[in-house]
Amino acid sequence: MKFYSTKNKQLRVRLREAVLQGLAPDGGLFMPEFIPAVDAPYLRGMTFQEIAMTLARPFTDGELSSNQLQEIIEDAFTFPVPLYPLSEDLHVLELFHGPTLAFKDFGARFMARLMAKFTVRQDRERLILVATSGDTGSAVASGFYAQPGMRVILLYPSGMVSKIQEQQLTTLGGNVTALEVDGSFDDCQRLVKQAFIDKDIREQCSLSSANSINIARLIPQSFYYAAAWSALPGSNTPLVMVVPSGNLGNLTAGLIARRMGIPILKFVSAMNANDVFLGYLEKGTFQPRPTIPTISNAMDVGNPSNYYRILDLYENDVRNLRKTVYGASFSDQDTQQAINQVYDQFNYMMDPHSAVGFLALQQFLSENKVNDWRQIILETAHPAKFKDIVESCTGRPVRIPQRLAVCLDKPKHAFTMSSLFSDFKEWLLSGAG
Ligand SMILES: *Cc1c(COP(=O)(O)O)cnc(C)c1O
């Protein structure tokens, strides 16, 4: 299979290039040249790994042997993906059982192993530069941890990430180096972007980006949609799946799973105040805006990149997209009430992102009078990552999972760095990392 750029369908590359380049040279996003079909009923009774193999095979055909793909999948998905019932019709799909307690572990772990497979024969170590405001960085760093031929440099803004996030970013060690930058997230991003175009750095280092638009992060996210459908009883009742949305990667992966033939009738895209995509669904115009900070901060995206992939899948036809995707957005105050309501009603602790999903589902059900449909909310993060908010809404202590407790106890290791490019460059070229 080849992958084309959303800006130019004639520009086609192999999976290896698409994964190692991240972004197409013309600034477009890579898309598979066709969406392979799967026979959904055939997936019933399969393990998560078997479903992942079945879905991933056509994307990697000719690039990886079946054994290589199997190794990647078995090594990447070592944690459960439970579908937990809140009521007869409503389930939550818990996507937070990976090492960094958020669904981004699926994409990051798969991408890291795929890149390592494509790099292994090279003599030079591949250097992954990641600017992070918190969540994505920890999933990416943890995904690349101990991967052969890979070295990760994480840049984060000093004093601007939560204590939990900082511990997750700075305690891995090994092939992961954290740089605490005296500046903002934008400064971190600027340093990374400048490094990619700097001639001296490019000569000396083999750089790769691991940002959220990499196609290797999207493909594995389609696996859990298929797995959730196959695990759900009552196969003839329509199914709606609710996706807490920010950069729209998760939603795009769901739409791809549906296009493959997984019988998901509707998607609900749940947003916070950063609801540019809702504007598109309602008015048919896409107007990026500056980001607004909220308590569901992993969804604070004012210009969602994967919008262009959705346009591509639906051939710019917003009316057709509306038949499949319903959108809704909610305030922080609504979200806090929802965390409390879900706890009272179901005795279940939801993180703020999933709580936005709960609200969007209620609105969809009441507007469409389809309460008898089967409903799945994607639980994108563990409540312990947002401990303070969840505890203040429920009045109950949040249990900290062992894997997080261990990392909270480890000593922090980070190099401090100014926000001057000349300092960063000198440090990189000296091989200090
Ligand atoms: C990244 C993230 C989201 C948003 O997912 P997108 O694929 O960017 O739309 C939602 N919830 C959590 C917890 C996240 O980390």
Ligand 1 centre distance from Cα of residue 247 (Å): 7
Residue closest to 155 by CA, chosen among 128, 175, 126, 123: 128
User: For ligand 1, is residue 309 a contact (CB within 6 Å)?
Assistant: no
Give residue 124 CA to ligand 1 midpoint distance, Å: 33
**How far is ligand 1, taken at its centre, from the CA of residue 73, in Å?**
22
pLDDT value at residue 196? 86
pTM of the entire structure? 0.94
Going by C-alpha positions, the residue among 38, 372, 380 that lies closest to residue 226 is: 38
Tell me the C-alpha distance between 96 and 427, whole Å.
35
Report how far residue 33's alpha carbon sits from residue 207's, in angstroms, rounded to the nearest whole number. Answer: 26
Backbone angles phi, psi at 294, to 5 degrees: -135, 180
Q: Is the CB of 102 under 6 A from ligand 1?
A: yes
Q: Which residues pair with 369 in a beta bridge?
A: none
**pLDDT tens profile 63-96:** 999 999 999 999 999 999 999 999 999 999 999 9
Give the pLDDT confidence of 262-292 residue by residue, as tens digits: 999 999 999 999 999 999 999 999 999 988 9
Taking the centre of ligand 1 as the mean of its atom positions, its distance from the CA of residue 380, in whole angstroms, is: 7
User: Distance from the CA of 36 to the center of ligand 1, in angstroms?
Assistant: 25
d(CA 388, CA 342): 17
Computed on alpha carbons and rounded to an integer, the radius of gyration of the chain in Å comes to: 21
Phi then psi for 340, rounded to 5 degrees?
-65, -45
Provide the pLDDT confidence category of residue 432 given band limits of 50, 70 and 90.
Answer: low
Mean pLDDT of 183-193: 87
Of 97, 222, 247, 269, best ligand 1 pocket probe by most atoms within 8 Å of the beta carbon: 247
Chain centroid to CA 338: how far?
23
Q: What residues have CB less than 8 Å from 358, skipping those under 6 apart? A: 242, 338, 341, 342, 350, 377
Q: Domains in the chain, ordered, with CATH?
A: 81-103+217-399 (3.40.50.1100)
Q: Ligand 1: distance of its center to the CA of 103 in Å?
A: 8
Q: Is the C-beta atom of 377 inside 6 A of ligand 1?
A: no
More confident residue, 251 or 292: 251
* Ligand 1 atom with the shortest distance to the CA of 135: 15
CA distances from 329 to 108, 274, 332, 361 (A): 27, 8, 10, 11
Task: Report the pLDDT value the prediction gives residue 335, as an integer from 0 to 100.
Answer: 98
Nearest CA to ligand 1 atom 4: 246
105 CB under 6 A from ligand 1?
Answer: no
End-to-end CA distance of the chain: 37
Q: Exposure of 95 by Cβ count < 10 A (0-12 exposed, 13-18 middle, 19+ buried)?
A: buried
Q: How many angstroms separate the alpha carbon of residue 249 from the centre of ligand 1?
A: 8
CB 155 within 8 Å of CB 192: yes
Distances (CA, A) of 9 to 6, 24, 32, 132: 6, 11, 10, 31
